[in-house]
Structure formats: C-alpha cells, structure tokens
Amino acid sequence: MAFKFIAFAACLAAAQAGIIPAAPLAYAAPVSAHLAYAAPVAKVAAPLAYAAPVAKAVVSEEYDPHPQYNYAYDIQDGLTGDSKSQHESRDGDVVQGSYSLIDADGFRRTVDYTADPVHGFNAVVNREPLVQKSVVAKVAAPVAYAAPVAKIAGPLAYAQPAIAKVAYSAPVAQYYH
C-alpha cells in the first residue's frame, strides 16, 4: 500500500512540474480507505481566443419611400360560431383600417382605427348586441316549464344528538329448588 502512495505522489509531483502531459481534468482513485478524494492531477488550460468573423454579409434591401398595400380577411364559421374580419390599407405613412369580432358576452366589437405621423394612432371602439333585446326576450322565453321534482332546502342547522338514558338491569336469575 505504501508503494502505491509513493507512486501516486511521484506522478502528482511530475504532473504539477509539467513533466508529464495530463488530461484536461482528472481525479485519481482513492489510495486508501482513509483518503477519499485526491486533488486534480493536471491544471485546466485556458480557453483559446475567439476570432471575429473576417467578412460580414451585406444585404441590400430596396427602400420604398411611399409604401402602399391593401389587406383584408373575413371568417364566418357556422360550425364553431367564430366570426371575425379585418381590412387595412396603407398609403405612405397613413394607415386606415377596421376589425370586428364577437366578444364572449354576445356583443360584436368593431374597432375603426387610423395612424399617421401627425396624429399618431387613434381607435374608435363600438359594441353592439348581436340580437336585439326585444327579440331576446321573445326567443328566450320557454314554451313549457316543468316544476322541479325536488327542491333543495337551505343548509340544515346542526344540533347535538339527544342522549337517551338507558337503564340496564341484570337478568333475573331463576333458581329452582
């Protein structure tokens, strides 16, 4: 056992002196039961320097001084009930458009907007019910109404159970002579 320790110490000294080339990071196995961890055998080399790219790709994009476009979509899905639309147009730095959708509360929201360098972005929001209130009352009224079979009572009050006193008597013994 002493020979292994001496050999390990010699290798460690040679590696620290730079005589033995070593792996980037290595740990030696325990020499004895008393030594559970050994110091690293070699030092970690510093990272290499990073070289910047030699050439940079230049992308030449054409600049449009007066951009123009028109854009629109309309979705009316009878299966899911999805209903929304948008249209927008641009002429130079002036953008005008509108979009609409159905909110979860049954109203159609319509937003008309404009944007330009002088006034910035401006939007006007309108909300209107999909069905008129008088029609809702007529359609929503039930044709026939059945009373519930059972009514649910309010919460019950809790009372302690009544304790009944029970008298106990031993059975009567009968003796025959």
Tell me if 25 is assigned to some domain: yes
- Confidence class of residue 88 from pLDDT cuts 50, 70 and 90? very high
Short-list 29, 26, 31, 30, CA closest to 5: 31
Pinpoint the alpha helices (H) of the chain: 2-17, 133-140
In a domain, 35, yes or no: yes
Total number of domains constituting the chain: 2
Domain that holds residue 105: 68-133
Residue 75 located in a structural domain: yes
Domain membership flag for residue 156: no
* DSSP letter assigned to residue 42: S
Indicate the average pLDDT of the chain: 73
| Whether residue 40 is found in the same domain as residue 73 | no
The pLDDT assigned to 29 comes to 55
Q: What is the pTM of this model?
A: 0.42
How is residue 45 annotated by DSSP? P
For residue 157, being part of any structural domain is answered with no
